[in-house]
Structure 1
Amino acid sequence: MLPRPLTNALYGLYATHVLHMADRHGVFAHLAAGPATAAETAAALGLDPDTLERLLLVLEAFELVERDDRNRYGLPTELAPYLDRGGDRHIGAMSAHMVNGAAAQLGRLDAYLTRGKAGVDADLPAPFDVIYATPESTREFLDAMWQIGFDVSAELVRLADLGGVRHLVDVGGASGAFCVSALRAHPGLAATVYDLPQVGPYLAERTEEYGLAGRLEFAPGDFFRAAELPEADCLAFGYILSDWTDDTCRELLAKAHRACADGGRVLVMERLFDEGRRGPLATSVMNLSMHVETEGRHRTAGEYADLLSEAGFGDCRVLRSSQDKHLVVGYKTRP
């Protein structure tokens, strides 16, 4: 038998796909209501019983479901909030993106290793031209960003201490996960999501869902083509700088410095490498994903603090959440 790390690495391809299939076909949602056998679940969902049983056995082997002595499957208590569609931590959209988006592009790694990314990607469309190519791909991406951002945003809002902030601009804020959390926590706050025009309809859905009309606005724009960013006393970049090179990050943070009111701040919210870049695992994996899907990479807290300092922000602070997304804050001093 192979050592466990090799077993997990070799067969991990199946884990991601069966995770996605179980979510897509409602298996986890069915089991969230109570334990059921493979046959009972297949009958309830109209699925092929043989295929479903094989899928469940893989999920059990990866400890993603559990089985009792009556051969009934259920969700482990600690995993249920992530697998049940009704929870804020549900990862279904992220697993769909991993299978339909990221995995579909991993084939380029072979060419990257032999020819380098720049040469391979020279004739390809820009990353977000692909992501926002169709309404279906746009929604899949924005749903994934909401799922990995909304639950942790409540904690990030507390860490950011936005009590004195009047206007928050979330640069590349997608469908508004951070803004929604900030507005719910601070009734006197106004917020604007600044993102590509394609995002507007999806933000409107969240604005209506959370009753934030008049407080959550959308400003369509391209932060590369625009000479300046919208002005505010707090600007946020959540999972944005990791999409781009250091030079591009310097350009964006320089624009943020000009747009930021004196005494204001910039929030950088990202996965962070440990200072020795030995993990965490999710950051290491997504760092490779950034290489394939975008032009960026993940960085250490120190690297983000250096980028903020180069842009003119001072008193940089690192505030870590209990999840994968952390906060690096830079302040614009008064003249």
Structure 2
Amino acid sequence: MAAKWDTGSLIGTSSAYWRGCTLQAGVRLGVFTVLGARSLSTAEVAAAIGADHRSTGYLLDALAGMELLLKSGDRYSNSEAAATLLDEHKPGYIGHIILHHHHLVDGWAQLDVAVRSGGPVEQRSYGAEAERRSFLLGMFNLASGVAPLMVEAISLAGRKRLLDLGGGPGTYAIHFCRANPYLQAVVFDRPTTEPFMKRTVASFGLSDRITFAGGDFNHDSLAGGPYDVAWLSHVLHSNGPEQCMELVRRTAEVLEPGGLILIHDFILDDTRDKPEFATLFSLNMLINTAQGRTYCRAEITAMLEAAGFSAPHCIDPKTPNQSLVIAAIKGDT
């Protein structure tokens, strides 16, 4: 972000969605996957993605202008970054989270409506299954990059049983279990998540140590306790303050005395105007949920203390998206 706003920086920010939509179109159309390791002409790419020749040329030139593609004459190839991160056949593919962002664009275009009404807006639907798939796989994309940083920053030595609340595909449970050979984990999430979670866990050879419990954590009993560590990653921001407080209290009930709670989220400073991403994410929750928002450190600390936790402290794993962890210990009473 520019240190001082001026005409250029304001216009650049206002039009920044052009670049995002261009990237999203490239992923949605499969441009980077079609190119793979090849060099193709405009006509060849257009034929492969089933698109108009002229407009495909405009898109390819824009992607080349963004240095995601390399252009030589009338032929295009993937840049190193695109080949690694945007080709669906590569293990580092992050296209699912980019598709999830694409699904959010219509809502963000109505931010003024959400601010006036104080609640979520009606948005274009891309189909429940497509949206659920991009969300789950997108969360896997993001967590796969962040989880190794968490494992390095947080010691679970001596812990035996982990509750991964709202854990989706189980990415964090997988990484915590790989780093702690004696740790067992239960991923608690909506039943529709179970098939994807089980496939993901099996691919890491951890099906004997990570199991699934289905339910709505805002309403259903948190099965499988007692636990000695609970991991709540990006759970609070989907809920209002009362729901968050109740969830923290119910998590405490299934933890043993001395159990560790770890709340991972986009956490605001107590001034509520930093870090930037957390402030923007609150708007994302305004657009998409009835009461969700980001919370500041003091609010989360107060929830933990009210639920009987002690010694709350913040851990900064230095993640790319500025997420933080607040940890606390359940008291003996």
- Whether these two folds match at TM > 0.5 is yes
Aligned residues: 323
> 1:109 is matched by which residue type in structure 2?
L
Residue 252 of structure 2 is aligned to residue 249 of structure 1 = no
Alignment of 1:15 onto 2:10: no
Q: 8 Å contact 2:37–2:78 — kept in the other structure?
A: no
**Alpha-carbon distance in structure 2 between the residues aligned to 1:54 and 1:297:** 38
SS at match of 1:273: coil
Are the equivalent residues in 2 in contact too, given 1:27–1:41 (CA < 8 A)? yes
1:327 maps to what in 2? Answer: 325
Paired letter, 1:106: W
d(CA) in 2 for partners of 1:115, 1:188? 50
TM-score (normalizing by structure 1)? 0.83
RMSD, aligned CA: 3.1
Paired residue for 1:286? 281
For residues 1-335 of structure 1, the aligned pairs below 5 Å read 3-30=7-34, 33=37, 38=42, 41-42=45-46, 47-61=51-65, 63-65=66-68, 67=70, 73=76, 77=80, 81-85=84-88, 90-100=93-103, 102-106=104-108, 108-117=110-119, 134-228=128-222, 230-231=224-225, 232-294=227-289, 295-321=291-317, 322-324=319-321, 325-335=323-333
Please give the per-residue CA displacement for 1:22-42, whole angstroms capped at 9, x wherever unaligned: 112332235552665645644
> CA offset at residue 150 of structure 1?
2.0
Q: CA deviation at 1:145?
A: 1.5
Cα deviation per residue 1:223-264 (whole Å; 9 max; x = unaligned)?
A: 222245542111111111011112111100001111111111
Is the 1:271–1:298 contact (alpha carbons within 8 Å) kept by the matching residues of 2?
Answer: yes
What is the distance in 2 between the residues matched to 1:301 and 1:73? 48
Q: Structure 2 CA distance, aligned partners of 1:145 and 1:261?
A: 29
Q: In 2, distance between residues paired with 1:327 and 1:153?
A: 12
Q: Distance in 2 between matches of 1:26 and 1:78?
A: 15
Corresponding residue for residue 3 of structure 2: none
2:263 is paired with a residue of what secondary structure? Answer: strand
Q: Which runs of 5+ in 1 are unaligned?
A: 125-129
Corresponding residue of 1:127: none
The 3 A distance-change label for structure 1 pair 15 and 189 is same
CA contact (8 A) 1:88 1:147 kept: no
Aligned AA for 2:215?
G
Q: 1:316 deviation in Å?
A: 1.6
- Change in 2 beyond 3 A, CA 1:221/1:43: closer
Aligned-pair identity in percent equals 25
Q: 2-11 vs 37-46, which deviates more?
A: 37-46
* Compared CA separation, residues 80 and 6, structure 1 to 2 (3 A): farther
CA drift at 1:180: 1.6
- The gaps in structure 2 that reach 5 residues or longer are 1-5
Q: Secondary structure at the match of 1:272?
A: coil
Question: In structure 2, the residue corresponding to 1:222 is in which secondary structure?
Answer: coil
Cα separation, partners in 2 of 1:93 and 1:87, compared to 1, 3 Å: same
Q: 1:36 to 1:164 in 2, by over 3 A?
A: farther
Three-state SS of the structure 1 residue aligned to 2:15 is helix
- 2:299 counterpart letter in structure 1: E
Q: Alignment partner of 1:212: what SS?
A: coil
